[in-house]
Amino acid sequence: MSGNRRAYFKRTLLNTCLCLAFFVTVNYMIGARILNRYYTNILNLVLIYVVAAVSLNLTCGYLGQLPLGHAGFMSLGGYTAAIITTRFSIPDIGPIPGQAVLFFLATVAGGIVAMIAGVLIGLPALRLKGDYLAIITLAFGEIIRVLVQNIKITGGAMGMGGIGKYTNFSWGFFWTVMVVAFTFLLVNSRHGRAIKSVREDEIAAESVGINLTYYKIVAFAGAAFFAGVSGSLFAHHICYLEPGNFGYNMSIEMLVMVVLGGLGSISGSIIAATVLTIVPEVLQTFATWKMIIYSLLLVVVMIFKPSGLMGDFELSAARLIRKIFRRKEDVPQLPENYTEGEETDEQET
Amino acid sequence: MLNVTNINVYYGNIHALHDMTFHVDDGEIVSLIGANGAGKSTTLKTISGLLRSHTGDIEFDGHSISRTEPDIIVRQGLTHVPEGRRIFLSMTVEENLDMGAFTIKEGKKKALDEVFDRFPRLAERRNQIAGTLSGGEQQMLAMGRALMIRPKMMMLDEPSMGLAPILVSQIMDIVVELNKAGTTILLVEQNARMALRISHRSYVIESGRIVLSDTSENLLNNEQVKKAYLGG
């Protein structure tokens, strides 16, 4: 047991170090203008989509449901946070800038509003399966869009301007680490096994004493929270919100990222979100062909790798290092069934 | 141990169980036999809380469980080995057993050892993916998973389904052993002969009604049962 704990501690330490190293390097590159404004913008957008995709993977990949209303939660989070940051201000507290505190609190508030909506919609919707859940969540997304279009505080169809550009690499990275850590710790815990067993077989899960509704709601609400966070980051990235930002197209796009990356793989979602955000940018030069190439890419991946880029495999820094060292020292192979899921946060670039 | 009184269960408009009343005493093996679609599985699902009865009451170990959530019923020591085994196919044998112990915090290790003692085959294959086990091994795993909480009572739904005759008798031997070790058993079987041989008492179900109930020995010699379920 203590050996396990030590290995766990080592891995955590390793991943934390790698995260920090990545963060410091990229921050330096931004500071030194090695990454110009345009690239930094794309990088931030990548991180925003990573937060959304990884959270969606929780309901899609691990819980095995098919929700199509992720954009609705992002919308709720985005508008909530934007309303807070545009109406309130917090004075600086010593060295801590008040604006950063406000942005953090607004983002958390956005997440919580989305989470509450997630629980409310989840309670009736999660009793349904497959197509029915997809339709209900799709309708939910549209209801949010129409609501936002017709109430005053969100600026209605005119949209909502004057949102501060608070999202930067640090915030994006912070929330990415949060969502990855949350998802990773959750799915590898006792509760995570319960969530995965619901995906495997609901009757079996129930027969071993797992409360289906509870675990479905937990996964759904967790995903909704981070969708809200992602919405807030998005709002403070583009600085102008209009209801059309969060249409069902956005939900589908998120779903594509999750499926392409691999259902049940955090690394997969990160990679797919990165690729699918960067590819359209790269293809800007071939404007006419952009959508065709993008779609073809999806078709090709789905034909040749239906389980997604990563399947349910996770990248692991610890495993990689062990592999390298094993080759050097020629340590005997670990038993075939030796499994270990380990997740690093370094796949964004 | 288990008292089922007057339950009526519907699937939409279809009346699946009619005024069913039966009981299982402490330490017994009781079997429910009947043809396909007679309502045997429905009965088990209703007891374990997956389906609800509109009327009557189900009492387990002195408490009414007819309105209790399925996960709470498991915590009270009544487990259900569902039809078709329903193991977690992509998990390993050990992970499956670990899921079985989901509701308990202590004594997992000991329970695991006990299950491995009872099913040495599972111990050999503890790290194998459950989907690659043979049918008989999967049935053992399903039973092992249910045993992880050391249930007071176990409900087995068609444990012989799809198994070779030799495996069927092995599984039935295990059921008898479990019972001797103190687990009360409610067995649902299409293989009526097997079920009647190992159980103390039996109920014959037809179209959602109990039509006969007696000791299994008497039912084995009952002309009507012989004709309908034992092949003459």
> Is A201 near chain B, with CB under 8 Å?
yes
Report the mean per-residue pLDDT for chain A.
Answer: 86
Structural domains of chain B sorted by starting position, each given as residue range(s) with its CATH number in brackets: 1-77+153-164+185-232 (3.40.50.300)
B109 by Cβ neighbours in 10 Å (0-12 / 13-18 / 19+) ranks as exposed
pLDDT digits (tens, 9 = 90+) for B63-96: 999 999 999 999 999 999 998 889 999 899 999 9
Residue A143 inside a domain? The answer is yes
* Residue A272 forms part of a structural domain: no
pLDDT of residue A338: 40
Q: What ipTM score was computed for the predicted complex, to two decimals? A: 0.85
Q: Tell me the Cα Rg of chain A.
A: 21
Contacts of A335 in chain B (CB under 8 A): 127
Distance CA A171, CA A103 (A): 9
Q: What is the mean pLDDT of chain B?
A: 92
User: pLDDT band for position A328 (50/70/90)?
Assistant: low
| Helix A37-57 vs helix A70-87: crossing angle, to nearest 10 | 130
Reduced to 3 states (helix: H, G, I; strand: E, B; else coil), residue A192 is: helix
Classify residue A142: in a domain, yes or no. Answer: yes
- Residue of A207, A265, A334 best to disrupt the B interface, most CBs of B under 10 A: A207
**Interchain CB contact of B74 with A (< 8 Å):** yes
Contact A200 B90 (CB under 8 A): yes
Q: What are B207-215's contacts with CB under 8 Å, separation 24+?
A: B207/B18, B207/B38, B207/B39, B208/B9, B208/B15, B208/B16, B208/B17, B208/B18, B208/B20, B208/B38, B208/B39, B208/B42, B209/B18, B209/B19, B209/B20, B209/B39, B210/B20, B210/B21, B210/B22, B213/B22
Contacts of A40 (CB under 8 A, 6+ apart): A30, A169
Q: Helix (H, G, I), strand (E, B), or coil: what is residue A28?
A: helix
**What's the order of all strands across the beta sheet hosting B29-34?**
B78-81, B153-157, B184-189, B29-34, B201-206, B209-215
- Give domain status of residue A333, yes or no: no
* Chain B CB contacts of A265 below 8 Å: none
Here the tokens at position B158 are: 């068609």
Residues in CB range of B68: below 8 A, 6 or more apart: B49, B76
- Residue A125 lies inside a defined structural domain of this protein: yes
Tell me, yes or no, whether A5 lies in a domain: no
**A254 lies within 8 A of chain B by CB:** no
CB B170 within 8 A of CB B134: no
DSSP state at residue B222 = -
Is A285:A291 a contact under the CB 8 Å cutoff?
A: no
What residue numbers bound the domain in which A102 lies? 44-264
Q: Considering only CB atoms, which chain B residues are within 8 Å of A209?
A: 70-71, 73-75, 102-103, 149
Q: Per the CB < 8 Å rule, is A337 touching B127?
A: yes
Token duo for residue A273: 């979100």
Rounded Cα distance between A64 and B182, Å, is 38
Kindly report which listed range (A20-34, A325-339, B172-186, B204-218) carries the lowest average pLDDT score. Answer: A325-339
Q: Using a CB-CB distance cutoff of 8 angstroms, which residues of chain B are in contact with residue A197?
A: 88, 91, 99
Checking if the pLDDT of A2 tops 80, the result is no
Count of domains observed in chain A:
1
- Closest residue in B to A194 (Cα) is B99
From B82, B92, B98, residue closest to A207, measured CB to CB? B82
Chain A residues whose CB is inside 8 A of the B71 CB are 206, 209-211
In a domain, A346, yes or no: no
Per-residue pLDDT band for B17 (boundaries 50, 70, 90) equals very high
Confidence of residue B205 (pLDDT cuts 50, 70, 90): very high
**3-state class (DSSP) for residue B19:** strand
Say whether A197 and B70 touch across the interface (CB within 8 A): no
| Distance of alpha carbon B86 from alpha carbon A207, whole angstroms | 9
The answer to whether the Cβ–Cβ distance between A194 and B102 falls below 8 Å is yes
Best to test chain A binding among B42, B71, B80, B157 (most A CBs inside 10 Å): B71
Cβ–Cβ gap A209/B149 under 8 Å: yes
Nearest to A79 by CA among A116, A46, A106, A40: A106
Residue A127 placed within a domain: yes
Please state the pTM of the whole predicted model.
0.86
Residues 142-201 of B with CB under 8 A from A: 145-146, 149
Task: Return the closest-CA partner of residue B119 out of B98, B145, B87.
Answer: B145
The percentage of chain A sitting over the pLDDT mark of 90, rounded to a whole number, equals: 44
- Calculate mean pLDDT across residues B199-206: 94
Query: At A327, is the pLDDT very low, low, confident or very high (cuts 50, 70, 90)?
Result: low
From chain A residues 141-200, the ones with a CB under 8 A of any chain B CB are 190, 193-194, 197, 200
